[in-house]
A and B are shown apart, each in its own frame.
Chain A
Amino acid sequence: MPQKKKEMEVPGPRRVADILADAGIRPTTVIVTQGRKLLTKDQRVEDGETIEILSVVSGG
């Protein structure tokens, strides 16, 4: 099972969807945040910025 919460520094400007695909994460199983902001999957993140990937799947 993937970790619940993962902080990640982004290598190079990339779309959130591509970052998730590279990490092998299914896009509907997480929310991606940057500070107080929620990012959509088509949003671009710049080189060296940090994002947080939070799993939304619970065992219940």
Chain B
Amino acid sequence: MKCKRCRKAAAAVDLPSHHSAFCPECFFVFFRRQVEEGIRKFRLFSPDDRVLVCVSGGKDSLVLWDILMELGYRTEGLHIDLGIEGYSARSREKTLAYASSRGKEPIVVDLHAEGVPIPEAAKRARKEECSVCGTVKRYFFNRVAAERGFTVVATGHNLDDEAARLLGNLLHWDADHLSRQHPLLPEAAEGLVRKVKPLWRVSEMETAAYGFLKGIDYVTEECPMSEDATSLIYKEALTLIEEEMPGTRRRFYQGFLDPKNRDVPGNPVADACREDASKDGKDIGEGGTPRKCNSCGAPTYAETCSFCRLKERVTKPQGRS
């Protein structure tokens, strides 16, 4: 098969959802345009912004950092070492190796050092690992951004991630999550930085192909805590549909984002989305202006922010509070 763009070189990447196939050079052009279009469409950020890129060491986040640097944005990487035996050390190593190959040094937050390694923190707080992980990550995204003057935080979620999440949210009519499922979440208050997902237009396969062709060495293993992730079921369902009807996943997610569809009268999703697209996490949700956490100063509606409450439960001697 020949490349559908230059019609000279042999194709290396099939793109059935775009009815196309590209050679490596043309695929780079395609991928770059998709990401640029994704940034432009919702004005995720501008060249003046300082972008904090969350890099786990997996393919999506390293590809994200790579392409943003290539597009000339001002970026730094933030790696959160989750304190998960084996997996975290390997992820950190890949992240550092990638960064140094680009002459960068990421900011590293070590959850062991912070007193909240995910497995132990979850056990002591009697919560799911992923829920604890979410609280902790959100907290440090905001804190590092505020402390170091970043105007925006970027994560590597791709089209497949967002479409799967959308399907899950719709199946459960989760208006709260639907209202926050957008590639752009504006700054909600001082200290709650803008969050963006610049890869929302590219698929998981495209991201992997890009990473491979660019020679980016990423962690291929999954976080051991993710084993029963329901998101995989939604992904599988969408894959089934996508392979029968190429392009459906993209239309599904882009249709959700299309302002036209939000104005359909009586659409509960639209109402939820309109209500407030800028809520961020459990702390923020009551409306109004947040106050400062009396322990760390982070914005919150409670006396103490959810991170400090978690930390308190984790570091306190065992027993119920």
Interface residues of A (CB under 8 A from B): 1, 4-5, 26-31, 33, 37-43, 54, 56-60
Query: Interface of chain B, helix or strand or loop or mixed?
Result: helix
Closest to A3 in B: B220
Complex: how many Å from CA A12 to CA B13? 23
Interface residues of B (CB under 8 A from A): 1, 11-14, 16, 21, 24, 58-60, 157, 160-161, 203-205, 207-209, 212-213, 220-223, 226-227, 229, 231-232, 235, 239-240, 242-243
Chain A proximity of B122: nearest CB distance (Å): 16
Complex: how many Å from CA A42 to CA B208? 19
Q: In the complex the two chains form, is A31's CB within 8 Å of B205's CB?
A: yes
Complex: how many Å from CA A41 to CA B209? 13
Which one of B1, B59, B60, B212 contacts A40 once the chains associate, using CB atoms below 8 Å? Answer: B1
With A28-B205, A38-B12 as known contacts, state yes or no: A59 contacts B223, CB within 8 Å.
yes
With A28-B242, A31-B209, A58-B58 as known contacts, state yes or no: A38 contacts B235, CB within 8 Å.
no
Chain B residues closer than 8 Å to A29, beta-carbon distance: 205, 239
Interface centre among A5, A40, A41, A60 (most CB of B within 10 A): A60
Chain B proximity of A51: nearest CB distance (Å): 13
Which one of A27, A38, A58 contacts B213 once the chains associate, using CB atoms below 8 Å? Answer: A38
Chain B residues closer than 8 Å to A42, beta-carbon distance: 1, 14
The 6 closest A-B pairs by CB, nearest first: A59-B226, A56-B208, A59-B229, A38-B12, A56-B204, A4-B220
Q: In the complex the two chains form, is B239's CB within 8 Å of A54's CB?
A: no
Q: In the complex the two chains form, is A60's CB within 8 Å of B157's CB?
A: yes
Chain A residues closer than 8 Å to B231, beta-carbon distance: 59-60
Q: In the complex the two chains form, is B16's CB within 8 Å of A40's CB?
A: no
With A28-B205, A31-B209, A38-B213 as known contacts, state yes or no: A1 contacts B232, CB within 8 Å.
yes
